[in-house]
Structure 1
Amino acid sequence: MTFDLSNYRKNYKKNSLLELDIPKNPLKLFHNWLEQEKIFSENTEVNAMSISTIGEDGCPETRVVLLKEYSEKGFIFYTNYYSFKGRSIQKIPKICLSFFWEKTERQIIIKGITSKIKKNKSDKYFYKRPKENQIGSWVSRQSTKIPSKEYLLEQYNKWKDFFRKKKTIDRPFYWGGYIVKPYRMEFWQGQSHRLHDRIVYNKLEKNNKWILCRLSP
């Protein structure tokens, strides 16, 4: 079966990305773009990002997770340390983050080195989560095989009964946060006739300063 999508296209024309208008620090540009996307994409998860790791079979693996915090130190997300992505990060800590924001016709690609955040920081975030989500962290042995959806719901009800009388639910030792420390950030702004704007920031190892350049679309 063949399905032809060759005539499915869009002409980008909402914004532009010029060197004179952008900050020297890519985090500021990231923040500006995210805030603008919030305005245009109300009630959507603008913090959704694709994370690409190198799987145990040597093949890239990509999935969508939610960005929960960002600062000069890096970008933080949370997951099961024993998941496919957790095991991949343990072996190869270099990963790629990608955001695509349709409303503003923008894309950001971030390459960085990943490491676990401190346990007390993971605890702090875990206790902010809804109780049902906390229980879900105990239920899920992420990326492992299970016999059925019914089995998963049974496990959830068992853990729910277990925690029913507890005032607080402890964070599972296998669940927590990662921080991605970027060394390369690319900003893509859609343009007419496929002449897109692409600005790349690279961090210099010797002084941690960012230098930028423009790439051909």
Structure 2
Amino acid sequence: MEAQLAQMRVDYRRDELDVGDLADTWYEQLARWLDDATADGVVEPNAMVLATTSDDCIPSTRTVLCKDVDERGVVFYTNYTSAKSHDLRTMRRAAATFPWYAQQRQVSLRGEVERVSNEETRAYWATRPRGSQLGAWASAQSAYVRDRDALDAALAVTERRFPETAEVPVPPHWGGWRIVPDRVEFWQGRANRMHDRLRFEQNAVDRSWQVRRLAP
């Protein structure tokens, strides 16, 4: 396997990216590439790898689903008692990467985090399938559980609590986080590993944005 891994490589030749190809803002460009990935049939094109850091400086990554993109930032939803939420409350910063391998593209961003409003959380919650709503009540995310039977039992209790005719409210321990980026990089694979890397960077003083090219 080690020899096979050493030989695994793809020569990227699908597309190119220059400053003139970019939208005026990072969020419009991200939306454009999300649309491209969706049109190409990418499975869960809104999946992003979220990186957080604990208060003892230990990093963690996991995949979450982006549920909103606008000028304010990138939003995902989760349990507020989870390990990731603990990291976010403590460190107040996060990073995320959208990996679109089929398009030979990725977008990486970083910035401060904030909780989304209760109104936004309720609006998104109303769009979730009932099963996902029940799961949010049943699962103490990131907590240790005895076995799978314990999880199934917790879901069964929740189903009895909210019968088919009952509305499932938003749990008090559940809601959205928004990453408010100060840096967003768009990466397009190119031949000979001479990839295109264009980064939107925000000026810390006047909050204006500029675009810079980086060496691959």
Alpha-carbon distance change, 133 to 39 in structure 1, aligned in 2, over 3 angstroms: same
Instruction: Give distance in 2, aligned partners of 1:27 and 1:158.
Output: 41
Which amino acid in structure 2 is aligned with residue 159 of structure 1? T
- Aligned-pair CA distance for 1:143: 0.4
| 3-state SS of paired residue (2:168) | coil
Residue 42 of structure 2 is aligned to residue 71 of structure 1: no
Which amino acid in structure 2 is aligned with residue 202 of structure 1? E
Q: Which segment drifts farther, 67-76 or 32-41?
A: 32-41
Within 5 Å, which residues of 2 pair with 1:108-123? 108-123=107-122
Alpha-carbon distance change, 206 to 57 in structure 1, aligned in 2, over 3 angstroms: closer
Q: Which segment drifts farther, 55-64 or 4-13?
A: 55-64
Q: Provide the residue aligned with 2:38 in structure 1.
A: 38
Residue 81 of structure 2 is aligned to residue 82 of structure 1: yes
Within 5 Å, which residues of 2 pair with 1:98-137? 98-137=97-136
Instruction: Give distance in 1, aligned partners of 2:138 and 2:110.
Output: 32
Instruction: Give distance in 2, aligned partners of 1:152 and 1:144.
Output: 11
Q: Provide the residue aligned with 2:160 in structure 1.
A: 161
Query: Structure 1: 5+ residue runs without aligned partners?
Result: none
Instruction: Give distance in 2, aligned partners of 1:215 and 1:79.
Output: 33
Instruction: Give distance in 2, aligned partners of 1:21 and 1:45.
Output: 25
Report the aligned-residue RMSD. Answer: 1.3
Residue 173 of structure 2 is aligned to residue 199 of structure 1: no
Residue 181 of structure 2 is aligned to residue 182 of structure 1: yes
Instruction: Give distance in 2, aligned partners of 1:174 and 1:147.
Output: 22
Q: Provide the residue aligned with 1:151 in structure 2.
A: 150
Instruction: Give distance in 2, aligned partners of 1:48 and 1:202.
Output: 23
Which amino acid in structure 1 is aligned with residue 128 of structure 2? R
Q: How many pairs are equivalent?
A: 215
Q: Provide the residue aligned with 2:12 in structure 1.
A: 12
Runs of 4+ with >6 A deviation? none
Instruction: Give distance in 2, aligned partners of 1:33 and 1:165.
Output: 39
Instruction: Give distance in 1, aligned partners of 2:214 and 2:203.
Output: 18
Instruction: Give distance in 1, aligned partners of 2:91 and 2:55.
Output: 10
- Aligned-pair CA distance for 1:36: 1.0
Instruction: Give distance in 2, aligned partners of 1:192 and 1:71.
Output: 32
| 3-state SS of paired residue (2:154) | helix
Which amino acid in structure 1 is aligned with residue 144 of structure 2? K
Q: Provide the residue aligned with 2:27 in structure 1.
A: 27
- Aligned-pair CA distance for 1:110: 0.5
| 3-state SS of paired residue (2:137) | helix
Residue 162 of structure 2 is aligned to residue 140 of structure 1: no
Query: Structure 2: 5+ residue runs without aligned partners?
Result: none
- Aligned-pair CA distance for 1:165: 5.6
Report the TM-score, using the length of structure 2 for normalisation: 0.95
